[in-house]
Amino acid sequence: MNYSNKINSQGFAIIDTIYSENEIEKLISLIENITENSNENATFRKSQDLFAIRQFHKEIPESLPFIFNQNLKDVIESTFGKGYFITKSIYFDKPEKSNWFVAYHQDLTISVDKKIEVENFENWTVKQNQFAVQPPTEILESNFTIRIHIDKTTKDNGALKVVNNSHSKGILRIENLGIENEKETICEVEKGGIMIMKPLLFHASNKTTNNERRRVIHIEFSKQELPDGLEWSEKAVLQN
């Protein structure tokens, strides 16, 4: 099924029943195994409001055959075409009593292997030896993100809310968007479903109010080669 028209016009699409109950249980088992049996790891971030695993596909490579089942591969290829690879992945576990919320923002940075002065690559940061940089707008516009929902996600446990079609306006400050005149959608997703979104889509999430956990695997994709010796630090080519 091709979702490109919806993603191009709205900036996102929600697709339920990508994963079977068995596939979701297998992913949960792999995640619990590493989190229970590993010591504090540089890619793990833990607080009472959030547990996160950065570079998820490198930390738990055994998860990839379950994540990239035939359903997901079909959606990616029919919607975006061939040649895409993983550029970043994060697992988010928002606990039942989490007060964690995220204000409206665009995803403006990519993860790269080193810092090189390259034209139109700016706003460099480094966290835990991981370099991030804001690339030229056209790279962000051609990338996409898939969020895999391990739990049913509703407005009450931190579902993303988005500003429809805000990805089409380039890089903006939120106060310049005129949000009061825009359509907002709360992106509720069933367990085993996915949300596809464009990085420049303004998105936010509220605090949890219903005592229900929200676990999501967030994976970013590109097919762009970076210039002048710059490389994607988490690049992983999809297996057929």
CATH number of the domain within which 40 lies: 2.60.120.620
Quickly tell me which residue has 């292997």 as its tokens.
Answer: 113
Q: Are the CB atoms for 195 and 10 separated by under 8 Å? A: no
Taking the C-alpha atoms of residue 105 and residue 112, their distance in angstroms, rounded to an integer, is 21
pLDDT in tens, 55-87: 999 999 999 999 999 999 999 999 999 999 999
Taking the C-alpha atoms of residue 150 and residue 99, their distance in angstroms, rounded to an integer, is 20
Q: Are the CB atoms for 86 and 155 separated by under 8 Å? A: no
Q: Are the CB atoms for 204 and 161 separated by under 8 Å? A: yes
Q: How many domains does the chain have?
A: 1
**Mean per-residue pLDDT of the chain:** 92
Residue 37 has pLDDT above 60, yes or no: yes
CB < 8 Å & 24+ apart, contacts of 23-30: 23/66, 23/69, 23/192, 24/150, 24/191, 24/192, 26/66, 27/63, 27/66, 27/67, 27/148, 27/150, 27/217, 28/150, 28/215, 30/60, 30/62, 30/63, 30/66
Residue 100 has pLDDT above 90, yes or no: no
Element (H, E) at 112: strand 110-112
Element (H, E) at 203: strand 203-205
Q: Which domain holds residue 60?
A: 4-237
Q: What is the CA radius of gyration of the chain?
A: 17
Residue 142 has pLDDT above 70, yes or no: yes
Residue 40 has pLDDT above 70, yes or no: no
Give the predicted TM-score (pTM) of the model: 0.94
